[in-house]
């Protein structure tokens, strides 16, 4: 599996997103009205309201923002992890775009879990919103499906079965990949950001997902897993 892809030509990534405002009431008035319409479409229970559903706003690029992008890549003997993070979304997106522009070469790949449905389009939408030119590695306009430089580990695991969603946590457990997730989970990111104001926790959580993602690709390629000594966090 993936025999024709050199792992040193893959940039692994994961993003963490939060609602753009701390609470529904703190949204700009025009977005409050638009969120009401959105909430009406996504509510599952009669008692759901725009206020109670606002904790989900971060998963929608129109109502959320990116607070961390963690990336990782293989060298001959190491796996190096670097994160772009902060309250200024435009700055971190600009730095990330610069990285992608430097990496732009014919055999370069991007890899994320559920990336084709979430990470990649979310990044593109937020770059447009922030007036940042989308790097060629993210811009799939005009490309045929087999020409896209994106690897989606969830799509790989489906093997053509489009009715199934498998989380990164479940997949790593099934494949016996050790995961150091011992702190927060995805549903807590918004609270940790807005209430605890603890961005460092979110960064560590995001980096752990990138490491797990790399381990998953190694398992798909039937290669030995990374050891702790091989993982380098770049400050």
Digit-coded pLDDT (tens) for 192-203: 999 999 999 999
Token digits of residue 10: 């893959």
- The whole-number pLDDT of residue 2 equals 82
Rounded to 5°, the CA angle 24-21-132 comes to 135
Domains present along the chain, CATH in parentheses: 7-20+63-234 (3.30.420.10)
State the virtual CA torsion across 92, 26, 19, 66 in degrees, nearest 10: 0
Place of tokens 């490491």: 211
pLDDT of 44 reads 87
What lies within 8 Å, CB to CB, of 132 at 6+ separation is 90, 93, 94, 97
| pTM for this model (two decimals) | 0.94
**What DSSP assignment string belongs to 187-222?**
GGHHHIIIII--HHHHHHHHHHHHHHHHHHHHHHTT
> Among candidates 52, 53, 68, 83, which has minimal Cα distance to 15?
68
Helix or strand holding residue 24 (H, E) = none
Q: What is the pLDDT of residues 200-220, one digit of tens each?
A: 999 999 999 999 999 999 999
Give dist(CA 100, CA 95) in Å, integer: 9
| Alpha carbon separation from 221 to 13, 96, 217 (Å, rounded) | 18, 27, 6
* Structural contact between residues 136 and 147, judged by C-beta atoms closer than 8 angstroms: no
pLDDT at residue number 1: 66
Predicted pLDDT at 182? 63
- What are the C-alpha distances in Å from 153 to residues 17, 78, 213? 20, 21, 8
Write out residues in the chain with pLDDT < 50, as ranges: none
Q: How far separated are the first and last CA of the chain, in Å rounded?
A: 33
């Amino acid at each position: 599996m993936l025999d024709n892809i050199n792992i040193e030509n893959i940039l692994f990534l994961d993003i963490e997103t939060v609602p753009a405002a701390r609470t529904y009431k703190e949204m700009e008035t025009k977005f409050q009205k638009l969120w009401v319409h959105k909430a009406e479409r996504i509510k599952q229970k009669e008692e759901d309201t725009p206020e109670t559903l606002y904790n989900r706003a971060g998963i929608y690029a129109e109502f959320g923002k990116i607070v961390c992008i963690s990336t990782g890549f293989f060298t001959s003997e190491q796996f190096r992890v670097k994160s772009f993070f902060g309250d200024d979304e435009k700055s971190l997106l600009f730095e990330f775009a610069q990285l992608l522009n430097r990496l732009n070469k014919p055999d370069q790949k991007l890899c994320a879990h559920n990336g084709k449905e979430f990470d990649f389009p979310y990044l593109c939408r937020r770059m447009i919103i922030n007036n940042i030119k989308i790097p060629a590695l993210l811009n799939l306009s005009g490309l045929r499906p087999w020409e896209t430089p994106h690897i989606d580990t969830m799509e790989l695991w489906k093997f053509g079965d489009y009715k199934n969603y498998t989380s990164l946590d479940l997949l790593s457990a099934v494949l016996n990949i050790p995961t150091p997730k011992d702190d927060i989970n995805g549903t807590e990111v918004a609270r940790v950001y807005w209430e605890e104001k603890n961005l460092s926790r979110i960064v560590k959580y995001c980096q752990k997902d990138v490491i797990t993602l790399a381990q998953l690709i190694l398992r798909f390629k039937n290669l030995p897993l990374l050891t702790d000594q091989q993982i380098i966090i770049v400050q």
